[in-house]
Chain A
Amino acid sequence: MNNDGNDSIVKFENVGLRYGLGPEVLQDVTFSLAPGSFHFLVGPSGAGTSSLLKLIYMALKPSRGLISLFGRDIATTPRRDLPPIRRRVGVVFQEFRLLNHLSAFDNVALPLRVAGARKADIQKHVVELLSWVGLKDHLDARPPTLSGGQQQRVSIARAVIARPKILLADEPTGNIDDRLGMRLMHLFEELNKLGTTVIIATHNNQMVERMGYPRMHLDEGWLEIVGGNARPRQADTPVEENGDEAGGPDSGNPGGDRTNFEQLI
């Protein structure tokens, strides 16, 4: 069910988006991303980068055109089949969108609970991941008591806890200093090496230049992919191709990479 037949994990065909009767925010957006690719999504403010991401994580429906994720046309997928797809898409929201009444632990545990993971597994994985992002001492803290950077790390942990196949991040470095920003970028790179397709919307051109991944450039609703084809830089890295069950934290623990996480954050 992954991407048989066509080698793309995200595919847009002539996608247009308008809010109400207003002008089209996105026009004829067509692209397709290979599994395991890494892209920056750039463009001037108001160019529609957030809208594009929202279309991918299904917060918006396109006014026209076709969007397929994992080889499935979203528009014709029955409603009850969408959650399993959503579980394979991790999102770091621009404004974090943490649930303020839940502890950091519960926020990060949410994707696993929603997927019906076992309690013991949830406990183990969440504590592990929060420790990796340096929040071991803040498991029970409510988001409002955490600093902006800490909240951001909680929201990133929530986005990756269920090992998504696609990771979307909207301005993940917007609220934090450059140094922490780069560390987060390296975390995303590590995830990408494990096979996750990554799309990061950002205005930080410096960082985009430095990391050298292809850019999806949005301007006045038009999209153009710059900087090489959509293949990932590390195309030689074997991509996790088998679609493991949505949401469930798989047992394959690439221990070496985890050590990397720890050093990164």
Chain B
Amino acid sequence: MFTRRSDLPLDQDTLSRFLPWLIAFMVFLAALAMAGMLVLDATAERWDKGISGTLTVQIMPAEDPAKDSDRLQKVLLLLGETPEVHRFETLGDAKLMALLEPWLGAAAASGDLPLPRLVDVELKADAKLDVEMLSQRMEARVPGVTIDDHSVWLARLVRLIRTVEGLATMVLAFIGFATVGTVVFTTRTGLAIHRNAIEVLHFIGAQDSYIANQFASRALSLGLKGGVIGLLLAGPTLWGITVMARQMEAGLLPEITLGPVHYSAVAALPLTIAFIAMLTARLTVMKTLSRML
């Protein structure tokens, strides 16, 4: 890769040939883990923003359907008095039917079923509403009204996403450790193989750093080579996943996209891993040599 003259015949080592492929594999896995992590992160944020700040008020149907619209008016009145509320809207029958249809089928449209009334409430941005209090006041005026701020559902979902994200971070960390371990092993073997030449360099008056630089630049070039291979493998894979995700966008999944920031973060992986490899090789050599005479 680099036509740099080296005082040690490091490129003749068998290990040098397998290291790029190992690093390629690491970068591939790291790219997938990282892409997954970034997508989840963006998704969690979007859901969080989209859903928090809204409430759904549900008025259960009373024994006497005639009273229902009266209760609805009371609820709307109370919502109007609440300063934190930005906007509210009663869901019309048609919309309600559409929501229920997947579960109840055509029966929902028959009108025979007692249906709850739903009010969609949007809170003012940065408003801090005590949902519990509102719920109690509501209940006092109109029994049989529940307020759902989606917090339980959202919290669970976000927790799930954060857990998966945590796992992905761990995977990244493991990949880092594995890279460091591999490079340490490769470097130590290289030091042992070239012990004779290294001794000669020492006797001639080479500083440890001079020898370490040879190993470090070798590790850097092997790391970059492997990293690029890994990225070339990961690229089509990620693109394939994105395309597949787009095809099922109609479903429940929120839109999955990798923005330019994400792509550059993934693209930085080979550089990062090559840098880790270089630093590891250097430190390993310095440490090992310090134990030599």
Contact = CB atoms under 8 A, between A and B. Distances in A.
A102 B293 contact: no
Contact of A87 (B12, B199, B205): B205
Interface in B259-293: 290, 293
Interface string B193-229: 0001101111111111010000000000000000000
B293 A110 contact: no
Interface residues of A, number: 27
B5 interface: yes
Contacts of B204: 86-87, 110-111, 114, 158
Given A58-B293, A59-B293, A84 B5 contact: no
Interface string B179-203: 0000000000000000011011111
Contact of A83 (B197, B200, B205): B205
A114 B203 contact: no
Contacts of A221: none
Given A59-B293, A61-B293, A99-B197, A83 B7 contact: no
A83 B201 CA distance: 10
Contact of B199 (A59, A110, A247): A59
Nearest to A110: B204
Contacts of B203: 57-59, 86, 91
A114 B210 contact: yes
Listed residue (B203, B204, B208) with the most chain A CB atoms within 10 angstroms of its CB: B204
Contact of A110 (B196, B201, B208): B201
A113 B205 contact: no
B114 interface: no
Listed residue (B12, B197, B200, B210) with the most chain A CB atoms within 10 angstroms of its CB: B200
A73 to B, nearest CB: 16
A67 to B, nearest CB: 13
A66 interface: no
Contacts of B105: none
B196 A97 contact: yes
Interface in A53-102: 57-61, 79-80, 83-87, 91, 97, 99, 101-102
A83 B212 CA distance: 14
B80 interface: no
A102 B200 CA distance: 13
Interface in A93-152: 97, 99, 101-102, 106, 110-111, 113-115
Contacts of A41: none
A162 B204 CA distance: 10
Contact of B207 (A59, A83, A101, A162): A83
A97 B7 CA distance: 14
Given A102-B7, A113-B7, A80 B207 contact: yes
B184 to A, nearest CB: 21
Contacts of A58: 203, 293
Nearest to A158: B204
B9 interface: yes
Interface string B159-193: 00000000000000000000000000000000000
B205 A246 contact: yes
Contacts of B5: 106
A247 B210 CA distance: 15
Nearest to B10: A101
Given A99-B7, A114-B205, A162-B205, 8 more contacts: A61-B293, A79-B208, A86-B204, A97-B199, A99-B197, A101-B9, A114-B204, A115-B205
7 contacts: A57-B203, A60-B293, A87-B205, A101-B9, A106-B7, A110-B201, A113-B7
Interface of B: 5, 7, 9, 12, 196-197, 199-208, 210, 290, 293
